[in-house]
Structure 1
Amino acid sequence: MSTAAPESPALSAAELHAAATVVDGSTVIELSEAHLDRIRRGGVTAVNHTVTRPYAGTVEALREVNRCRRWIDAHADRVLLATTVADIQRAKAEGREAVILGPQDTEMIGIDLDLLGTFHDLGVRILQLTYQRQNLLGAGCGEKVDPGLTEKGRTFVEAMNELGILVDVSHCGQRTGLDAMEVSATPVVVTHSFCDAISPHIRAKNDDFLRVLGQQGGVMGITTLSGFLYYPEDRGKRPDLKRFVEHLSRVVEVAGIDHVAIATDYDETLTEALKGPDWGKLLGNWKWDERRAIGMDDAGDFPNFTEALLAGGFSPEDITKILGGNWLRVFGQAWK
């Protein structure tokens, strides 16, 4: 008489989180020991780091990339530069952090494809086409009119494909983002955004966009900034990770489980004293200590994502995809 094999015991949230390769799809890291401590505490393996300031000129951007590279070199026992998926896998195995260089703008490059190659040589593997405003490639989401990718923009995307740089359209206008998906031979990503159907905003992506993103094979990372996950019916209510799961679930419903991930969109270098005049315009008039969703104050709180996803009914397999597996897939498809 045969007997059924015993079921494997379910992993706890802590065990599931520890086993996963956890990726933050968009952040600005502080080049410091404190950052490394937060990353280790949160069990994060890889981060997409906004290595250059948006609208930076070429020389300034090169200096910022160099500064980050030198910091990585100086902390080689805890950090490595990620230019391949194998680098991220190695970082996981060795307990180090893999830093992906991902500028959120192309204005330091313009349309100079030689410069694009130079930034690739320096380690850039994710590149956002526009940041809020119109540039030589296309329109940002802050423009009232979005005519889509320019002809130079189309050539630029094709060159990114050839080099092996992942195309990011987070801050692009909708038409520009859709055009990029039409032109790109590899999946396009929205490294950090949220759902317009739940929290309407110029930075959010609507369902029509998400459907195309899923069909094209891309991924959208869901942010956990309070001003983006807001409740339209109660704008003064600070969102929590349950609200994050609602946005994530909407992407799953529209595009599928393989097309959503995590991206905190946290700037670790921003201090309350440095808040600029656009703070309220972009993120809402939140108190400084409430600017991030409840349960995710910094990278050290990343295990709370896993607990929230389990509470939201996601399976361990799907949670592993959301924590980092979906990012790894598109990285592998785009990078060479």
Structure 2
Amino acid sequence: MLIVNALGGLDNPNAGLDSASALLQNSDEMIVDARAIADAHASGLSAVNVTLGYVMGDEPPYEHTLHELDVWDSIIEAHPDDLLKVLTADDIRRAHAEKRVGVIYGFQNAVQVGTDPSRIAEFAGRGVRIVQLTYNQANHLGDGSMAPENRGLTAFGREVVEAINEQRLMVDLSHSGEATCLEAARISTRPVSINHTGCRAVTDLPRNKTDEELRLVADRGGFVGIYFMPYLNLSGHATAEDVVEHILHAVDVCGEDAVGIGTDGSITGIDDMDAYRATLAEHTAARFAAGVAATGERSDTLPFVLDLCGPGQFRKLIRLLEERGCTSTRIEKILGLNFLAYADRIWS
């Protein structure tokens, strides 16, 4: 089965806790090593949208983004038998056929555009294929999901959407506020995506999307990816069953041709959960201090679904969808074919 993760990782989350890990490359805290690549192969993953460039923090957004583009280029160039840089939908097909993992370059913020929309063309020339307009907070393009004003796009944000359309890139509305999402979906001349989200009708948290947002994106030929994140349950401790519930609700709202997965997590599981939780508590505190944390994010919540992690995560999801009566055709669409069809519509 062709499997595409519309937002995920190729890093080993244990590597920072394990000095014996054999590093292949390091991009800040994101470590891609031999185990991470082996686990990606074992999972059946065909392609993944990896986050690179500026998301938050003190780094200069534009310069930091150029640096991370260089880093990812070097990772892929060093491992041609395992990884393939994705520029077209056919590159995903090629990665699948050649048993490699396609790496899709994506942003989770667009601050790095600065005040110059022409930078979108520069980033496209470097291989970026997905541009998420905002992170959780507001930026100069529009409001994120945690911005209390819930305003729509700014005038500059509308210029950037136009520039993204011109370069035939994906406009990703994950993390956006509701008004920003609805406006961007309406003004975009090409279908847009929400690559990693949940359904607010199932779990009422701001990182999840309303049925109106989901339906509008789907009706205009877009794509919606459901994540494996704590926001799928009000307790903050989401399970595999929660993931299935959100997928099935999204299918009910959007139709089976618009829904996929964007786990927002890595393939490799956690070896030492106690050590990981200690590190996570520090990381969460820093996110709250920086004002970028989301409602439902706490020091005791894990940024993944505990019973849907590790190389078997996709196989387990397939079994659970089968148990809920999904046909093999529907499952193949959800696991990868819907994203591939959307990529065909946007990148060609």
Q: TM-score range by the shorter chain?
A: 0.7 to 0.9
Preserved CA contact (<8 Å) 1:72 1:81: yes
Partner of 2:231: 228
Q: C-alpha deviations, 1:163-190, integer Å up to 9, x for none?
A: 1110000011111111111111221111
Partner of 1:34: 35
Amino acid at match of 1:24: N
Cα distance in 2 for residues equivalent to 1:291 and 1:163 = 32
Cα distance in 1 for residues equivalent to 2:141 and 2:287 = 26
What SS does structure 1 have at the residue aligned with 2:232? coil
- Could you state the TM-score of these two structures normalised by the residue count of structure 2? 0.84
Partner of 1:14: none
Output aligned runs, 1:1-336, within 5 Å. 20-30=1-11, 31-55=32-56, 56=59, 57-225=61-229, 227-230=230-233, 232=234, 235=235, 238-266=237-265, 272=277, 273=279, 275-277=283-285, 282=294, 284-285=297-298, 287=300, 291-336=303-348
Q: Percent identity?
A: 32
Cα distance in 1 for residues equivalent to 2:48 and 2:164 = 20
Change (3 A) 1:198 1:334: same
Preserved CA contact (<8 Å) 1:51 1:64: yes
Q: Which runs of 5+ in 1 are unaligned?
A: 1-19
Cα distance in 1 for residues equivalent to 2:211 and 2:313 = 29
Preserved CA contact (<8 Å) 2:54 2:111: no
Q: More deviation in 315-324 or 143-152?
A: 143-152
Change (3 A) 1:190 1:93: same
Deviation of 1:200 (Å): 1.1
Deviation of 1:21 (Å): 1.1
- Could you state the TM-score of these two structures normalised by the residue count of structure 1? 0.87
Deviation of 1:49 (Å): 0.3
Deviation of 1:252 (Å): 1.2
Preserved CA contact (<8 Å) 1:295 1:304: no
Change (3 A) 1:294 1:267: closer
Q: Which runs of 5+ in 2 are unaligned?
A: 12-31, 271-275
Preserved CA contact (<8 Å) 1:111 1:137: no
Cα distance in 2 for residues equivalent to 1:147 and 1:286 = 29
Amino acid at match of 2:244: V
Cα distance in 1 for residues equivalent to 2:146 and 2:266 = 20
- Aligned-residue Cα RMSD (Å) equals 2.1
The structure whose Rg is larger is 1
Deviation of 1:286 (Å): 6.3
Cα distance in 2 for residues equivalent to 1:221 and 1:110 = 28
Cα distance in 2 for residues equivalent to 1:33 and 1:51 = 20
Change (3 A) 1:294 1:60: closer
